[in-house]
Each structure stands twice: as C-alpha cells, then as structure tokens.
Amino acid sequence: MTLDHQKITQQAKKIMDNFISALDKADNKNLDFTVKRDSNIRKDNDHLQTNNDFSERMLKNAPNVKNDCIVAERKKW
C-alpha cells in the first residue's frame, strides 16, 4: 500500500477546516482560537536538532523521578 502524500495532506486540511467550522458554531467559543497555516506538515528536509544530554538534564532538574520518568501529579479540579 503506497500513501499519496498530496491526498493525505488535502484530507488532513479538510478535517481541520471542518473542525474549525464546527467550533465557530459552538456556544461559548473562544474567539481567539483560529490558527492559519500555509503548511501543516514538515518538509522532508526539515531536521530537528537533538541535544544528547537533554534527557539527563531534564530528569536531574525534575522534583520527582522514578525509573527514568518524571512523576507528576494530575491537577485536581
């Protein structure tokens, strides 16, 4: 099965546009929500720069760590 990149991009844009349209019809809507983008996916030549010691520093700075994971409390409503 091959994926047609352009077709998937068009389908994703249609889903996002329909979602925004549905939000516009909702009560108590946030009028500052709308986001317009020229492209909603990364190009193949966009590479993320990684920092090899990021995880180590993040875990060192976290107040609660267990088995290389940050332990966080869910906010109580």
Q: Scan for tokens 């990149």, then name that residue.
A: 5
Alpha carbons within 13 angstroms on the beta-carbon side of residue 11 total: 6
pLDDT, position 17: 92
Tell me the pLDDT tens digit for each residue of 23-77. Answer: 778 776 556 666 777 777 767 666 667 777 888 888 888 888 998 888 888 776 5
Which residues, other chains included, contact 59 with Cβ-Cβ below 8 Å and sequence gap of 6+? 65, 68, 70
Residue partners of 24: CB distance under 8 A and separation at least 6: none
Reported pTM: 0.34
pLDDT at position 29 is 59
Answer whether 37's CB lies under 8 Å from 20's CB.
no
Confidence at residue 32, expressed as pLDDT on a 0 to 100 scale: 64
